[in-house]
Amino acid sequence: MSAKELNFDTLMEQVVAGSEDAARLLFEHYEHVLLRVIRKRLNQKARTRLESIDIAQDVWASFFTEPLESRGFKNADAFLAFLTKLARNKVIDASRRHVTAKKNDLSRELSLDDRERINKDVLMSEHPTPSQIVMNKEEWTEYLRKQPPAYRQILILAREGRNAVEIASELGISPRVVRRVLGRLAEAAAT
């Protein structure tokens, strides 16, 4: 049986009597109206932080925690007016709690697309990303693979930060040969 099939007085009598089915019917019948009222009252910025469903649950919790016998609604319109007022008050309370906390101050939020307020160049890291590091290693390995074995040793030691004299002494060759090899590789890389 739906809420429309029952008249409002009968439905409320069953809710007051403790019928869970009647309470569910009441909830299902008025939930969409309640959510519409809440969403209409919520500030656009606050919608990103406050869930309208949570506020609706607060409304229903307030409604069902009070003794229902003490509430006499003349008709469905009076009940809807009560729910609407309760929802508006819950929105105000939730917004007030949320905004007064400094950490939740909506005016402190900045959009990453806000070109006037944020310099996006500052947001970029000076360090390479992990994928850039992997790509660099793959390119280095491929570059070494294409070089003659003597050149590979010179390149590896140069990449470790050694100068031409150190490389030459370790490999047993002239520093002039090391400089010539490094110069040729640099010219080839530039073209």
Domain spans, the chain: 8-108, 130-190
DSSP string across 65-83: HS-GGG---SSHHHHHHHH
Q: What is the pLDDT of residues 41-54, one digit of tens each?
A: 877 766 667 777 88
Q: What is the pLDDT of residues 82-115, one digit of tens each?
A: 888 888 888 888 777 766 666 656 566 666 666 5
CA distance 37 to 41: 6
CA distance 154 to 166: 10
CA distance 13 to 18: 9
Is the pTM higher than 0.75? no
- Give the CATH number of domain 8-108: 1.10.1740.10
CB atoms within 10 A of CB 76: 16
CA distance 78 to 72: 9
Q: What is the pLDDT of residues 148-180, one digit of tens each?
A: 888 899 989 998 999 999 999 998 999 999 999
**Domain 130-190, architecture per CATH:** Orthogonal Bundle (1.10)
Please list the helix, strand and coil fractions of the chain in percent, rounded to the nearest 5, in that order: 70, 0, 30
